[in-house]
Structure 1
Amino acid sequence: MKAIERIVNKAHLDRKRVVLSEAEDPRVLTAARMAVDKQLAYITLVGDEQTIAEAAERHHVSLAGIHVVSPQSSPLKEVLAERLYLLRKAKGMSYHDALEQVQNPLIFANLMVREGLGDGTVNGAVYTTSDVVRAALQIIGPAPDSELVSSFFLMMLCEPFHNLKGGLIFSDCGLVIDPNEAELASIAISASASAKALLMEEPKVAMLSFSTNGSAKHESVDKVRNAAQLVKQRCPDIAVDQDVQLDAAIVTEIAAKKLPGSQVKGKSNVLIFPNLEAGNIGYKLAERLGGAVAIGPLLQGLNQPANDLSRGCCAEDILHVIAVTAVQAQQDRNIEHTSPTSIKEGITN
């Protein structure tokens, strides 16, 4: 079974509430319909109700079983504006500013998740990555035990021509530009948790470099080696290879020659890139030249799931990210939501 099929099946077994904010886009409408029909998630669309209904009719998409919330007219507007004001007043936001911002569907969607009215949110078909990430960081915020919010791509190698089959986690390819040793270690630990949740496999981590086991001397190699040592200290149960070249990370025979003491033995399913430049180039090479399917960028380290889309995505891409978001929401984060009665009543009206 393909890795994405396992994720879809897992989402179906414990359906979560996923909030989408770009509901006038036909790709988002189609993905929402597919998610409900496949029983992957309960879907809420945020936006002007009449405009969404007209777009759905124009594109022949039924809204049956899909919840639609209009920020302008929802009874949640004032309550969520108050929450946003309290959250951001130290940064200079007034209540008037909050009341205006909460009418932005992206802001409204993230607030719904923060307040326990949704389990995760997916955006980015129209909004830019910077807008999506900023909203997630400012409203949902990092998990209590998270030192860093980072990103990853779920790379699918499932075609007959792929020598290496299955799913891989590539991190960080979309957010942290030049992580230091501690940040790189945090990225690796978060990516390992993502591998467990989404690949449903024990993580085997390769800390990528242009060096294997000290074959080159450079400060960038030292950073990777030191980060790997931090991972081993904090999570001794995670199999991790320090400063390893890509070929030794994914080819068993090369790992045996270059790194005979390897814990991973050329069977990595988590590839940690030394910086964003390498990660961005790496995932696009795998996608464009290697024929891998790239799902993401997905965010890790947040208090609740919030994921980004490529603006060039198709409906099926969005469906896959909805499934990933639902599975992320299934993980026990011991989150305590502040959902007063007024909010809970408002969502059912």
Structure 2
Amino acid sequence: MAFKDKILSIAKANPRRLVLPEGRDIRVLKAAEIIIREGFTTELYVLGNPDELRAMAAAENISLDGVILHDHTKSPKLNDYIHQLYESRKAKGMTEAEAAELMTDDVYHGAMMLANGAVDAMVSGSLTPTAKTVRASLIVVRPAEGIKTISGSFVMEVPNCTYGANGQFIYADCGVVPEPTPEQLCDIAIASAKTCRQLLGVEPKVAFLSFSTLGSATSPSVEKVRQAIEILKTRNVDFVFDGELQFDAAVEPSVGKFKAPNSPVAGEANVMIFPDLNTGNIGYKITQRLAKAEAYGPLLQGLSRPVNDLSRGATPEDIVVVSAITIAQSL
């Protein structure tokens, strides 16, 4: 089954509560109508002034039946949220006035709803830069237990491909951390393994990529990957991993058997951990363009609760699919 169809089926079978903070974007309102129709939320919150949102929707013949229009600037929880944010950040210099300003911002307010369990998932970014969604997630939602690094992965779906999980892979980090340390590479691998289980539905086989395979070359970047492998061995993870591996050794069984005959991952990898953002970004775009792959992401991972970012060029259909992915990550 194609990834998009699979993820929509998962969301429909497991509806959850979702917040879309950027209600002032007409694309979000169009997506909300589709999400209600598709039935993969039990509660769908769209933030903004309800009268303004209804007027926008009426002008475009959009039905908001079933959508909860929530004015975050007049929320009964607003003062509680302001106090909660201030208390959690005052040691880092945040003032009450700054906390109040953030909690009347739609994205930060949505993040606080998520952090407090009022919703199960959040999708934002159609109107705001990725950095804002990431920062709101970091300071409000917080990283998952045992993880210090928020990273960005892509689900790559390569047509007519037998590698990975029948042509599906997790690539990371492709969107957040420019120069990860060995410790951060471990966090990225742990989060990516979880993403693999949640979204691809298979057991992760994690390859730490390099231009070297198990000692065939050396450089500072190779040494960083080797250090990450040694650190990960101490963290008692529940998935197989190996590295450093060249891409062909990671995915092609014959090459993997030749270059790394004793590896539990070589020739079978479905999760690709790139040594830095430069290679990760280049790698996913090469795969997308030359292999005509579908690229879903960047998906935020490593958070205590699921948040995903949107491209500012996202269509309503893109918002629907990312919403379904985020709901799947909440399960």
Give the alignment's TM-score, normalised by structure 1: 0.88
After TM superposition, list the pairs within 5 Å mapping 1:85-96 onto structure 2. Answer: 85-96=86-97
Q: Percent identity of the aligned residues?
A: 39
CA distance in 2, matches of 1:226, 1:77: 45
Gaps of 5+ in 1: 331-349
Q: String of CA shifts for 1:215-256, please: whole Å, max 9, x gaps.
A: 112121121122123323424642222111112212222222
2:110 maps to which residue? 109
Q: Does 1:197 align with 2:195?
A: no
Report what 1:296 is aligned to: 297
Tell whether 2:24 aligns with 1:5: no
* Paired letter, 1:29: L
1:249-290 C-alpha deviation (Å, 9 max, x unpaired) = 122222222222221241211000001111111112222332
Closer, same or farther: CA 104–143 of 1 in aligned 2, 3 Å: same
**Equivalent residue number for residue 72 of structure 1:** 73
8 Å CA contact 2:187–2:302 kept in 1: the answer is no
Structure 1 residues 237, 93: closer, same or farther in 2, change over 3 A?
A: closer
Instruction: Indicate if the aligned counterparts of 2:173 and 2:280 stay in contact, CA closer than 8 A.
Output: yes
1:94-114 CA-partner distances (Å, limit 9, x unpaired): 333322322211111111111
Question: Structure 2: how far apart are the matches of 1:9 and 1:233?
Answer: 37
Consecutive unaligned residues in structure 2, runs of 5 or more: none
CA apart distance, 1:163: 5.8
What residue identity is the alignment partner of 1:4? Answer: K
> 1:338 — aligned with what?
none
Q: Secondary structure at the match of 2:74?
A: coil
Counterpart for residue 167 of structure 2: 166
Instruction: Report the equivalent of 1:227.
Output: 228
Tell me if 1:266 matches 2:253: no
Note the C-alpha offset of 1:4: 3.0
The normalised TM-score by structure 2 is: 0.93
C-alpha distance in 2, partners of 1:26/1:156?
29
Which deviations, in whole Å up to 9, do the C-alpha atoms of 1:103-158 show, x marking residues without a partner? 2111111111111111111111111011110011011111222232222112222x
Q: Does 1:35 align with 2:35?
A: yes
User: For 2:179 and 2:195, how far apart are their aligned partners in 1?
Assistant: 21
Contact 1:33 1:61 (8 Å CA) reproduced: yes
The offset of 1:209, in angstroms, is: 0.2
Q: Which moved more, 1:205-214 or 1:221-230?
A: 221-230
In 2, Cα distance between the equivalents of 1:155 and 1:91? Answer: 38
* Preserved contact between residue 245 and residue 266 of structure 2 (Cα < 8 Å): no
The 3-state SS of whatever aligns with 1:174 is coil
How far off its partner does 1:14 sit? 2.0
What amino acid is aligned across from residue 20 of structure 1 in structure 2? Answer: L
| Equivalent runs, 1:143-158 vs 2, <5 Å | 143-157=144-158
Deviations 1:24-79, CA, capped at 9 Å, x for gaps: 22322222222221111231101122221122122222101111111223323222
Aligned partner of 1:339 in structure 2 is none
Aligned partner letter, 2:300: L
